[in-house]
């Protein structure tokens, strides 16, 4: 869903409340190195390329962050 700012919502990481949950967007109007936008519930945001997002997803799938969240 577009929000009027050029951002297209891809995923909300909480969704159980209305507290400004972290959210993943794609901004097709942004420069390629800033196309992916992740917002947090404090109003901050990071921007990255699709390649950087792909690297992050690959690392998560490979279990590189499991120790951070206590997953064996």
Confidence at residue 15, expressed as pLDDT on a 0 to 100 scale = 64
Pick from 10-14, 15-19, 28-32, 68-72: least confident: 15-19
Reported as a single tens digit per residue, the pLDDT across 22-68 is 999 999 999 999 999 999 888 899 999 999 999 999 999 999 999 99
Tell me which of 12 and 14 has the higher pLDDT: 12
What CA–CA distances, in Å, run from 17 to 8, 12, 14, 59, 65?
Answer: 20, 11, 7, 28, 25
Confidence at residue 27, expressed as pLDDT on a 0 to 100 scale = 96
Confidence at residue 1, expressed as pLDDT on a 0 to 100 scale = 47
């Amino acid at each position: 869903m577009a929000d009027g700012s050029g951002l297209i919502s891809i995923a909300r990481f909480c969704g159980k409340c209305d507290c400004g949950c972290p959210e993943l967007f794609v901004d097709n109007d942004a420069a390629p190195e800033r196309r992916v936008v992740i917002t947090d519930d404090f109003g901050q945001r990071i921007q990255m390329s699709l390649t950087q997002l792909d690297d992050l997803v690959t690392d998560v799938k490979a279990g590189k962050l499991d120790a951070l969240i206590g997953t064996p």
